[in-house]
C-alpha cells in the first residue's frame, strides 16, 4: 500500500511544473559551479606546487650545514588544496594557506658573541584576501549553496501543499476512506518528495561531475566523500520536507502554509547562521594582536633576564669537550625561549580557535550551518580541515626537531648539546634524509568530523517528522 501511495505521489510530483523549474535551476547552477571550479582548481594547484617547491629549495639550500636547519627551520608549510573544493568553497577564501616555519626573528649581538633565535612555528598569518576584493559580498556558487539554500527552498515548495492542498481539494478524505493508516499516507508523501528532490540532486551532481571529471582525477576515497556529501544533503533536505509536512498539516489553506514556511525558511536558513553565532562569539574576545605581541616580548624579556642573572652573557659557548657550563646554559636558554614562545603562540591560537568554535556550536541551531560544517568536513575544506592542517604542521615540527637531534647524534665530532651552535654538528645533511612536510587529508578524520553533524541533522529530522506525524494524526479532515 505504501509503495502504491509513493508511486502515485511521485508521478504527480515529477509531472508538475515546479519539478521542471527545480531541475532546470539545479542543472544550471551545477554547470556554473563546474565551469567556475575548473579554472580555480588549476590556479590553486599551480600556486601550491610553487609554494612547495620554493620551500624545498630553501630546505636544500640550508642542508649544507646542520645548524642552518636548526636556526632557519623547514620554511613555509603549505596546506594542500582539496580536490573537492567545488563542494565547499565558501570559507576557504578566508583561511590562511600556510603556516610559517622559519627563523623567529630575534637576534642579539654582543662584541663577543652573536646569537639568534631558533626556528618555531608561527600561526598568526592573516587570511589571503587579495586585491580583487572589490565586490559587494556574495555567496560562492558551491554545492553547499545549491543544497543548503536553493534545494531547501525547493523542498518547501514541494511539500507545502502536500497535506493542506489535498484538504482543500477534498482528495485526502477520499484517500483516507480506504483502509490506509494516516501514518502510511504521511510516510508515502515524505518518500515521494524526497525521491523527486533526490532525482533533481542526482542529475545535478552527475552533470557537475561529468564536466569536472576531465580536470580532476578523483580516486576511490574522493568518490566515497562525494557519496557522503550526497547522503548528508539528502538528510538535510529531509529535515525541510518534514518541516513542510508539519506546517502543511497545521494550516488549512496551502497559501497560508507556504507563507509560514517561507518566513521560517528566511529566518532559519538565511538569517540565523549570519547573526546568532556572531553575536555570541562577541562575548569572548581573544587577546588582540598588539596585546599578544606585548605579552610575547615581555615573556622574552623575562626569560632573558633570568638567564642573564645566571650569567649567560658573561660566557660564550665553545666547542671544548666535554661541554662547558656556558655551552649547556646557552643551549638551555635557547630551548626554553623557543618552548615558551611557542607555547604562548599556541595559547593565542587556541583562544582564537575557541571563539570560532563557540560561534559554530551556537550556529548549529540552524540546520543550514550544520550541513555546511558537515559538507566542509567531508570535502576537506573549511575550518575543521584547517585545524587538522595546523595539527599536521605541529606534528611535522616535532618530527623535524627529532630528526635534527638524530642527525646530530650521527656526527661523532659533535658535542651533542642541542640546540646551541657550538654544541651541534656543522656538517652538511643529506637532503634526502630530511623529513618533508606532507599535508594530507584523512578520510577517517573527515567522517569523524561530520558524524556529530549528521547525528544532529537526524535529530532535527526525527523531531520534526514526529511532530508532523502527531499533528497529522490529530487533524480533522
Partner 1 sequence: MLWTLIRHELLMNLMTFRFLVAVIASMSLVLAGSIVLTDNYERRLASYNEGFQRHQEGNFSGKTYSSFRPSLDRAPNPLSLFNQGLDKRAKNSLQIRIGEVPFLWGDVSRNTGFSNPFRYLLADIDLVSIFQILFSLLALVFAYDAIAGDREDGTLRLILVNPVGRGLIVLAKYLGAMLCLTLPLLMSFLLTLLLQLQSNAIHYSADDFLRIGGIFLTTVIYTSTFYLIGLFISSVIHRTATSLIVSMFIWVVLTLLYPNVSLFLVNRFIDTEEKVRQADQAIDQILEQFHWAEVVPGDPFENPPLLKGSKSGGGSSSYTHLKKNIVFIPDAAEIHVPTVKAYFQELTSGRIRTANKVWQIRETTFSETYIYKSNIARNALRFSPAGLYHLSTEAWAGTGLARMQDFFKAGRQYRETILDYFYDKKAFSSRQWFASDKGAVRWDDAPRFSYQPPSVFEDASNRALRDLLLLFILNPMLLMMTFAVFSRQEV
CA 452 to chain centre: 14
Residue 305 CB partners (closer than 8 Å, separation 6+): none
The smaller minimum CB distance to partner 1, of residues 227 and 266, is found at 266
Report, in Å, the least distance between residue 215 CB and partner 1. 14
Please choose, from the candidates 280, 454, 459, the residue with its C-alpha nearest in 3D space to the C-alpha of residue 362: 280
The smaller minimum CB distance to partner 1, of residues 37 and 469, is found at 37
Among 125, 227, 459, 463, binds partner 1 (CB under 8 A): 125
3-class secondary structure, 344: helix
Is residue 114 involved in binding partner 1 (CB under 8 A)? no
3-class secondary structure, 348: helix
The window from 18-26, 79-87, 181-189, 435-443 that contacts partner 1 (CB under 8 A) reads: 18-26
How far, in Å, CA of 473 to CA of 186, rounded? 10
The window from 27-35, 58-66, 299-307, 398-406 that contacts partner 1 (CB under 8 A) reads: 27-35
CA end-to-end span of the chain, whole Å?
21
The continuous run of DSSP H or E covering 77 comes out as strand 77-78
Is residue 359 involved in binding partner 1 (CB under 8 A)? yes
Among 109, 112, 132, 177, binds partner 1 (CB under 8 A): 132
3-class secondary structure, 115: strand
**Burial label, 184 (beta-carbon count in 10 A; 0-12, 13-18, 19+):** middle
Please choose, from the candidates 238, 29, 42, 239, the residue with its C-alpha nearest in 3D space to the C-alpha of residue 143: 29
Among 46, 206, 210, 267, binds partner 1 (CB under 8 A): 267
Q: How many residues bind partner 1 (CB under 8 A)?
A: 70
Cell numbers describing residue 285:
574576545
Among 19, 119, 143, 153, binds partner 1 (CB under 8 A): 153
Among 48, 96, 103, 452, binds partner 1 (CB under 8 A): 96
Residue 411 CB partners (closer than 8 Å, separation 6+): 66, 425, 427
Report, in Å, the least distance between residue 111 CB and partner 1. 17
**Largest Cα–Cα separation, the chain:** 101
Q: Which 55-94 residues touch partner 1, going by CB under 8 A?
A: 91, 94
Among 105, 109, 112, 138, binds partner 1 (CB under 8 A): 138
Residues that bind partner 1 (CB under 8 A): 18, 21, 25, 29, 32, 35-36, 39-40, 43, 91, 94-96, 124-127, 129, 131-141, 145, 149-150, 153, 157, 161, 165, 254-256, 258-260, 262-263, 266-267, 270-271, 273-279, 281-282, 285-290, 352-353, 355-356, 359, 383
Amino acid at each position: 500500500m505504501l509503495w502504491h501511495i509513493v508511486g502515485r505521489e511521485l508521478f504527480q510530483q515529477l509531472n508538475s511544473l515546479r519539478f521542471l523549474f527545480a531541475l532546470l535551476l539545479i542543472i544550471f547552477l551545477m554547470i556554473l559551479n563546474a565551469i567556475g571550479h575548473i579554472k580555480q582548481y588549476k590556479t590553486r594547484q599551480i600556486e601550491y606546487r610553487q609554494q612547495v617547491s620554493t620551500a624545498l629549495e630553501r630546505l636544500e639550500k640550508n642542508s649544507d650545514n646542520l645548524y642552518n636547519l636548526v636556526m632557519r627551520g623547514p620554511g613555509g608549510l603549505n596546506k594542500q588544496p582539496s580536490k573537492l573544493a567545488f563542494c565547499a568553497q565558501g570559507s576557504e577564501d578566508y583561511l590562511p594557506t600556510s603556516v610559517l616555519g622559519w627563523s623567529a626573528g630575534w637576534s642579539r649581538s654582543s662584541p663577543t658573541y652573536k646569537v639568534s633565535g631558533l626556528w618555531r612555528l608561527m600561526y598568526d598569518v592573516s587570511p589571503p584576501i587579495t586585491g580583487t576584493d572589490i565586490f559587494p559580498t556574495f555567496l560562492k556558487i558551491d554545492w553547499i549553496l545549491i543544497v543548503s539554500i536553493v534545494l531547501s527552498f525547493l523542498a518547501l515548495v514541494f511539500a507545502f501543499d502536500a497535506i493542506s492542498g489535498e484538504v482543500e481539494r477534498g482528495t485526502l478524505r477520499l484517500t483516507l476512506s480506504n483502509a490506509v493508516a494516516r501514518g502510511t499516507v504521511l510516510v508515502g508523501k515524505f518518500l515521494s518528495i524526497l525521491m523527486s528532490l533526490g532525482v533533481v540532486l542526482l542529475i545535478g551532481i552527475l552533470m557537475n561531475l561529468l564536466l569536472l571529471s576531465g580536470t580532476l582525477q578523483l580516486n576511490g576515497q574522493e568518490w566515497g566523500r562525494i557519496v557522503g556529501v550526497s547522503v548528508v544533503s539528502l538528510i538535510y533536505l529531509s529535515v525541510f520536507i518534514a518541516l513542510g509536512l508539519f506546517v502543511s498539516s497545521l494550516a488549512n489553506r496551502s497559501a497560508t502554509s507556504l507563507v509560514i514556511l517561507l518566513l521560517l525558511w528566511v529566518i532559519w536558513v538565511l538569517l540565523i547562521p549570519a547573526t546568532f553565532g556572531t553575536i555570541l562569539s562577541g562575548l569572548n574576545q581573544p587577546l588582540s594582536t598588539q596585546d599578544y605581541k606585548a605579552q610575547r616580548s615581555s615573556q622574552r624579556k623575562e626569560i632573558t633576564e633570568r638567564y642573564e642573572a645566571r650569567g649567560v652573557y658573561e660566557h660564550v659557548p665553545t666547542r671544548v669537550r666535554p661541554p662547558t657550563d656556558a655551552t649547556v646554559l646557552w643551549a638551555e636558554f635557547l630551548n626554553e625561549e623557543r618552548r615558551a614562545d611557542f607555547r604562548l603562540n599556541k595559547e593565542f591560537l587556541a583562544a582564537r580557535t575557541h571563539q570560532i568554535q563557540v560561534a559554530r556550536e551556537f550556529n548549529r541551531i540552524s540546520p543550514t550551518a550544520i550541513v555546511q560544517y558537515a559538507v566542509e568536513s567531508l570535502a576537506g575544506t573549511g575550518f575543521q580541515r584547517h585545524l587538522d592542517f595546523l595539527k599536521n604542521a605541529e606534528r611535522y615540527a616535532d618530527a623535524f626537531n627529532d630528526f635534527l637531534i638524530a642527525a646530530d647524534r650521527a656526527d661523532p665530532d659533535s658535542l651533542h648539546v642541542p640546540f646551541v651552535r657550538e654544541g651541534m654538528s656543522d656538517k652538511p645533511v643529506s637532503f634526502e634524509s630530511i623529513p618533508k612536510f606532507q599535508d594530507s587529508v584523512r578520510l577517517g578524520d573527515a567522517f569523524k568530523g561530520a558524524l556529530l553533524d549528521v547525528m544532529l541533522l537526524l535529530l532535527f529530522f526525527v523531531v520534526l517528522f514526529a511532530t508532523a506525524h502527531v499533528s497529522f494524526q490529530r487533524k480533522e479532515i
